[in-house]
Structures are given as structure tokens and as C-alpha cells.
């Protein structure tokens, strides 16, 4: 008995090149790309695969992410089922402005394809490649990350495990353990919490329009988005004190109609919700994004408010950067290449952060007494004037469109 207990407490040791903490889109995409280059990796995920797929997130993919999915060999279903969007609308106190992103950027578009579907495709590809993922793992801890022999410990199915590796990719989201592994005095965290949330509703109803519409109104922000020709996703800005139970489907639809431009409100098709939730809005960046041989990727390092759909896209550019630097280390023997990760990744992260913050400021109604160190009325006037200028000038629309389609990924020389 004693011997059996002693044996089961002995950690099972596994070796790999890169240990990936978190099996969300960041971890899965990184794993897939690395394995294509012959770089072995293991994913450790806290919850089950079904749980990961149950999360409803945004669905606008920049060209950079689309190309990365092609490179990872997981773009087939997206190409069939995803919809290419050439533009979107901004409703400005009832008036519609069309942002023709394709014309304004000289040909760039975005792909409308849900994050859940991206995740599903990546999970299936990982399973098909026979790559290891430890789902439902607990007590995940990172060790010796500033040495050449880092390792990860966790418990899976009652068995203690230990992964010995060269590098650790912290892809475990905002609440994960990876960022906390960096000593507090070695990281700086920047944060802006917004005084409202987004109430989102998913329904099997045809979208109100072929493309997205972001609305600024006296009653607050609204967004009409979609997942497919038969599935819609809508959002309305709500006070942080609101609970999802406070909002019946009927109340949601009524409020959405009040915020959509009139012609859209008239033709909106409503139906029962299949998901309804409230998400807070936050801008967050952790600097640096690496500590020794630990690299933070995606939500583990930064959060954006959803205005502009940059969350998944920033995660993807982190993945692209890390994957290219690790490939240089393994295939070209350039062991110092990964040291450049944080510096390169952060440049693009700050672009996305600033854009999401700017759009959020312009499109929402800030109902707190003081906003950004000024009275609400003053802030409102500044933001009205800002939006007025950008919407009514071609160059202004270009600035909105250029950033919506995403900044190009930096070349890794
Ligand atoms: N150990 C292992 N896994 C963990 C741990 C932990 N201690 N803590 C969290 N995780 C897992 C979560 O269960 C989740 O599946 O890490 C995963 C992180 O996934 P996401 O939160 O989706 O983050 P990421 O993969 O970076 O995805 C990019 O950007 O803005 C968003 O919507 C966008 O979710 C998307 C994200
Ligand atoms: C979504 O479809 O969920 C979505 C789209 C665009 C955004 C945010 C969310 O800016």
C-alpha cells in the first residue's frame, strides 16, 4: 500500500521543446505552427476541450491571422464558411457612415468567422497530428524559467506530471499563472477599466445587414455583428451594475432597436437568445512580455476592449512573432533570437491597444461624473468632434480603416 502510494506520487516526467500553458486560440495556434516546423510541444489546459469551445468571443479576423491559419494548415473550413467583409457601418446618432475598408486601404478586407470555429479547427488539427494536450489539469506551476532548464508541474487525472522543456509559452489568458510567475518588481502593468460593460446576445436569426454596424447613440453604444447568414451576434452597452438576469430577450431587442439606425431597426429579425452574457471592458498591457525563457502570449499579456475586434488578432500577432523567433532558434541555431520577442510583440500590441481605446472612447457614452480628468459634458463634446472629423473626411475614414484591417506583422530578420 505504502509502496503504491509512493509510486503514484512520483511525478511522471516528459520532455519537449516548448511547454504551452493554456489551450485557447493562442496556445493551439502556436502549437500547430511549431509542430509544422518540427518543434515538439505539449499543451497543458486547466479545463476541458468542451469548456474551451463553450466560450463565445468575437469573430473578425485580420488578414495576418487568416494567413497564419493558412500557414498552420487549418484554413479549409474558414475559406468555405467564413465571409469576407469589405467594410462596415458606423451609426452616428442615427446617421449611417459606410467605412469601405477595401477601397480605403487599397484592397484589404477582414474575414468574419467566429473565434469558437477557429478554436474548433485548431483542436481538430491538433488531434489529427497526434500532438499531446493535457486537459483538466490542476495545480499548474512554472519553475526555473530564467534558467536553460525550465519545467512545468501539474496534476492530471490524479497523476503528478512534470514537463521538462527549453521554453515555456504562457498562453493561459488574463487569469492564468504565467504572468504571475514574473516577479512583481520585474513587470509593469498598465490598466484602464471602463465604467460600463457589453451585454451580448447570440440568436439563430438572420443578421440585420451583410456587414457589421457600430452605433453611437444618446442611449449608449450598440453593435450588430454575426456568425453566419443565419446566426446573429448583437451587443448593447450597459451599466456595470446590470445583471444578465435583468435583461429579458424582449428588453434586449427593444433597446437594440432604439440604438440601431431606423432602417435597420425596422427590418431587425428577433428571436430567442441562445447565449446572453455581460462582459466588462478593459485595456491592459503587461511589460515586458517575457521573463527568461517564459513568453507571455495573447490575453496572458494584454486585454483590449472588444470595440474593433482586436483581442484575437493581437494574440495572433504574438503567436506569429514567437513562432518565427523560436523557429530561428531551432532551425538556424540563433539561440538569442527569442530574446527579441517582447520588444517586437509590444510594438504591435500598443497599436491595437490605442486603437481599441480610441474607438471605445468615441463610440460609448461615459456616464460617470468625470471622464479622463474632465467633466462628462466636456469629454462628450471632444469625442463628438473627434468622430465628426474622422467620419466626414476621407483621410479620417482611412485612419479608421487602416487600423481596422490591422497593422502588418513586423518582418523577423
Ligand atoms: N493552467 C492551464 N491553463 C490555464 C490556466 C492555468 N493555470 N489558466 C487559464 N488557462 C487556460 C484557460 O482555461 C483558457 O482555455 O488558458 C486558456 C486561455 O485562453 P483565452 O483566455 O481564450 O486566451 P488566448 O488563447 O490568449 O486567446 C486570445 O484574445 O481577446 C481575446 O477573445 C480573444 O479569447 C481570445 C484571446
Ligand atoms: C463579434 O462578432 O462578437 C464582434 C465583432 C466585432 C467587434 C466585437 C465583437 O468589434
> Over 50: is that where the pLDDT of 3 sits?
no
Task: Kindly indicate the confidence band of residue 1, based on its pLDDT and cuts at 50, 70 and 90.
Answer: very low
Within 8 A by CB and 6+ apart from 389, the residues are 396
pLDDT digits (tens, 9 = 90+) for 217-228: 999 999 999 999
Q: Is the peptide bond before 312 cis (omega within 30 degrees of 0)?
A: no
- Confidence at residue 58, expressed as pLDDT on a 0 to 100 scale: 86
Atom from ligand 1 closest to the CA of residue 314: 29
> Over 70: is that where the pLDDT of 400 sits?
yes
Least confident piece of the model among 233-242, 363-372, 393-402:
363-372
Q: State the residue for C-alpha cell 505504502.
A: 2
Output the average pLDDT for the chain. Answer: 95
Please tell me whether residue 127 adopts helix, strand or coil conformation: helix
Q: Among 25, 85, 194, 328, which one carries the catalytic annotation?
A: 85
393, HSE (Cβ side, Cα atoms, 13 Å): 10
pLDDT digits (tens, 9 = 90+) for 272-289: 999 999 999 999 999 999
- Confidence at residue 370, expressed as pLDDT on a 0 to 100 scale: 74
Q: Among 330, 355, 404, 409, which one carries the catalytic annotation?
A: 404
Q: What percent of the chain has pLDDT over 90?
A: 93
Average pLDDT over residues 88-117: 96
Cα separation of 260 and 214, whole Å? 9
pLDDT digits (tens, 9 = 90+) for 182-201: 999 999 999 999 999 999 99
DSSP secondary structure, 28-92, as one string: HHHHHHHHHTT--EEEE-SS-HHHHHT-----EE-HHHHHHHHHTT--HHHHHH-EEE--EEEEE
**Ligand in nearest proximity to the CA of 31:** 1
Cα separation of 62 and 69, whole Å? 11
Asked if residues 356 and 313 have their Cβ atoms less than 8 Å apart, the reply is no
pLDDT digits (tens, 9 = 90+) for 317-370: 999 999 999 999 999 999 999 999 999 999 999 999 999 999 999 999 997 777
> Over 80: is that where the pLDDT of 9 sits?
no
- Confidence at residue 371, expressed as pLDDT on a 0 to 100 scale: 80
Burial of 382 (0-12, 13-18, 19+ CB in 10 A): middle
Q: Does the beta carbon of 328 sit less than 6 angstroms from any atom of ligand 1?
A: no
306 carries an active-site annotation:
yes
Average pLDDT over residues 66-92: 97
310 carries an active-site annotation:
yes
Atom from ligand 2 closest to the CA of residue 114: 2
Centre of ligand 2 from the C-alpha of residue 307, in Å: 7
pLDDT digits (tens, 9 = 90+) for 123-147: 999 999 999 999 999 999 999 999 9
Q: Does the beta carbon of 173 sit less than 6 angstroms from any atom of ligand 1?
A: yes
**Full set of structural domains in the chain with CATH:** 7-85+110-191+282-364 (3.50.50.60)
Atom from ligand 2 closest to the CA of residue 214: 10
- Confidence at residue 5, expressed as pLDDT on a 0 to 100 scale: 45
Site to probe by mutation for ligand 1, drawn from 137, 298, 306 as the one with most ligand atoms within 8 Å of Cβ, is 298
CA angle 179, 294, 40 (to 5 degrees): 125
Q: What percent of the chain has pLDDT over 70?
A: 98
394 carries an active-site annotation:
no
Centre of ligand 2 from the C-alpha of residue 162, in Å: 38
- Confidence at residue 279, expressed as pLDDT on a 0 to 100 scale: 96
92 carries an active-site annotation:
no
Handedness of CA 176, 177, 182, 183 (dihedral sign): positive
- Confidence at residue 8, expressed as pLDDT on a 0 to 100 scale: 57
> Over 50: is that where the pLDDT of 6 sits?
no
> Over 50: is that where the pLDDT of 2 sits?
no
- Confidence at residue 4, expressed as pLDDT on a 0 to 100 scale: 46
> Over 80: is that where the pLDDT of 168 sits?
yes
Amino acid at each position: 500500500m505504502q509502496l503504491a502510494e509512493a509510486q503514484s506520487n512520483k511525478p511522471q516526467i516528459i520532455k519537449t521543446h516548448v511547454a504551452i500553458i493554456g489551450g485557447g486560440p493562442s496556445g493551439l495556434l502556436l502549437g500547430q505552427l511549431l509542430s509544422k516546423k518540427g518543434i515538439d510541444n505539449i499543451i497543458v489546459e486547466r479545463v476541458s476541450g468542451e469548456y474551451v469551445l463553450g466560450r463565445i468571443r468575437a469573430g473578425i479576423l485580420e488578414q495576418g491571422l487568416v494567413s497564419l491559419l493558412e500557414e498552420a494548415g487549418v484554413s479549409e473550413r474558414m475559406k468555405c464558411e467564413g465571409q469576407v467583409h469589405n467594410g462596415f457601418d458606423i451609426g452616428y446618432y442615427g446617421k449611417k457612415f459606410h467605412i469601405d475598408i477595401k477601397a480605403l486601404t487599397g484592397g484589404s478586407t477582414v474575414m468574419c468567422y467566429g473565434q469558437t470555429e477557429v478554436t474548433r479547427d485548431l483542436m481538430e488539427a491538433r488531434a489529427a497530428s497526434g500532438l499531446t494536450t493535457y486537459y483538466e489539469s490542476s495545480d499548474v506551476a512554472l519553475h526555473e524559467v530564467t534558467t536553460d532548464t525550465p519545467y512545468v508541474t501539474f496534476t492530471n487525472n490524479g497523476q503528478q506530471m512534470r514537463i521538462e522543456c527549453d521554453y515555456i509559452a504562457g498562453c493561459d489568458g488574463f487569469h492564468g499563472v504565467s504572468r504571475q510567475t514574473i516577479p512583481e518588481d520585474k513587470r509593469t502593468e498598465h490598466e484602464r477599466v471602463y465604467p460600463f460593460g457589453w451585454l451580448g446576445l447570440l440568436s439563430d436569426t438572420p443578421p440585420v445587414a451583410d456587414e457589421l454596424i457600430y452605433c453611437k447613440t444618446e442611449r449608449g453604444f450598440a453593435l450588430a455583428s454575426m456568425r453566419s447568414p443565419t446566426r446573429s451576434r448583437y451587443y448593447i452597452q450597459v451599466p456595470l451594475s446590470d445583471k444578465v438576469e435583468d435583461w429579458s430577450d424582449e428588453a434586449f431587442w427593444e433597446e437594440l432597436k432604439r440604438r440601431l439606425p431606423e432602417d435597420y431597426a425596422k427590418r431587425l429579425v428577433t428571436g430567442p437568445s441562445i447565449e446572453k452574457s455581460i462582459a466588462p471592458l478593459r485595456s491592459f498591457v503587461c511589460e515586458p512580455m517575457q521573463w527568461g525563457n517564459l513568453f507571455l502570449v495573447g490575453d496572458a499579456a494584454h486585454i483590449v476592449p472588444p470595440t474593433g475586434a482586436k483581442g484575437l488578432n493581437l494574440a495572433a500577432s504574438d503567436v506569429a512573432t514567437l513562432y518565427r523567433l523560436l523557429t530561428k532558434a531551432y532551425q538556424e541555431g540563433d539561440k538569442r533570437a527569442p530574446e527579441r520577442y517582447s520588444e517586437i510583440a509590444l510594438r504591435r500590441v500598443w497599436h491595437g491597444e490605442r486603437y481599441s481605446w480610441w474607438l471605445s472612447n468615441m463610440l460609448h457614452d461615459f456616464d460617470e461624473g468625470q471622464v479622463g480628468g474632465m467633466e462628462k459634458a466636456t469629454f462628450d463634446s471632444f469625442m463628438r468632434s473627434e468622430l465628426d472629423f474622422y467620419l466626414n473626411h476621407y483621410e479620417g475614414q482611412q485612419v479608421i480603416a487602416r487600423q481596422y484591417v490591422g497593422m502588418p506583422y513586423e518582418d523577423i530578420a
